[in-house]
């Protein structure tokens, strides 16, 4: 695990500073939530550091790289290639970084949309990405989600997805079906 983290940190140095900072803030919150909810801290930390490694690519590059590597691409992902940055990062983790830990790979793969039946690690990584301090600062509505994260991960996921899906509908943009499935799954 430390070898993987070392390789990732070297890779991070080549990413834009803003992205590096987001990855570090996510990993810090991920660590705090792991301790609070007794989730494997190391796996969460590595997943958080890795989750956006494909985000330096633009939409065209994400699509091209996904096609070249024969990743499965849904029509929603084809229309909105940014939705593939998680699956592509998960693929890179396995191929370039030789990561064999399926829980880490899944956390990275599904970090954008969530999905039903998420592992505890997936939940913490998903939420840490969504409510790291900078994101809450730019959208104070997320404070409530951050607050619920302390006591109930499932409810926090539901609340976040409710908010996000509504926002995406208002913007008239593509909504990934997994986000809707996850929202329904985590509804009490």
Q: How far is the CB of 188 from Fe ion (least distance, A)?
A: 26
d(CA 82, CA 137): 23
Q: What are phi and psi of 5, to 5 degrees?
A: -65, -35
Residues 6+ apart with CB under 8 A from 33: 39, 44, 124, 127, 128, 149, 153
Kindly tell me which of 88 and 153 has the beta carbon lying closer to Fe ion: 88
The interface region with Fe ion, picked from 27-35, 36-44, 49-57, 155-163 by CB under 5 A, is 49-57
Residues 6+ apart with CB under 8 A from 15: 23, 53, 56
Kindly tell me which of 4 and 53 has the beta carbon lying closer to Fe ion: 53
Site map for Fe ion, 105-134, x if CB under 5 A?
------------------------x-----
Residue 48 CA, distance from chain mean position: 7
Binding to Fe ion by residue 77, rule CB under 5 A?
Answer: no
Contacts of 91-94 with CB under 8 Å at 24 or more apart are 92/53, 92/54, 93/50, 93/53
Kindly tell me which of 9 and 151 has the beta carbon lying closer to Fe ion: 9
The interface region with Fe ion, picked from 9-17, 46-54, 135-143, 165-173 by CB under 5 A, is 46-54
> 147: which 2 tokens?
């607050």
Q: Which of 52, 65, 101, 106 binds Fe ion (CB under 5 A)?
A: 52
Q: How far is the CB of 43 from Fe ion (least distance, A)?
A: 17
Q: How far is the CB of 130 from Fe ion (least distance, A)?
A: 8
User: How many amino acids of this chain bind Fe ion (CB under 5 A)?
Assistant: 2
What SS3 state is found at 52?
A: coil
């Amino acid at each position: 695990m430390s070898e993987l983290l070392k390789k990732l940190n070297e890779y991070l140095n080549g990413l834009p500073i803003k992205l590096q900072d987001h990855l570090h803030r996510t990993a810090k919150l991920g660590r705090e939530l792991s301790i609070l909810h007794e989730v494997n801290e190391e796996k969460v930390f590595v997943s958080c550091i890795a989750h956006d490694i494909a985000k330096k690519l633009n939409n065209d590059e994400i699509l091209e790289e996904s096609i070249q590597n024969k990743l499965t691409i849904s029509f929603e992902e084809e229309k909105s290639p940014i939705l593939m940055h998680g699956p592509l990062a998960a693929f890179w983790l396995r191929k370039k970084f030789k990561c064999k830990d399926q829980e880490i790979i899944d956390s990275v793969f599904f970090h954008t949309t969530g999905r039903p039946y998420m592992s505890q690690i997936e939940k913490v990584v998903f939420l840490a990405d969504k409510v790291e301090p900078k994101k809450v600062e730019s959208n104070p509505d997320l404070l409530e989600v951050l607050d619920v994260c302390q006591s109930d991960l499932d409810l926090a996921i539901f609340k976040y997805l409710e908010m996000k899906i509504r926002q995406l509908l208002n913007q008239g943009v593509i909504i990934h079906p997994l986000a809707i499935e996850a929202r329904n799954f985590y509804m009490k």
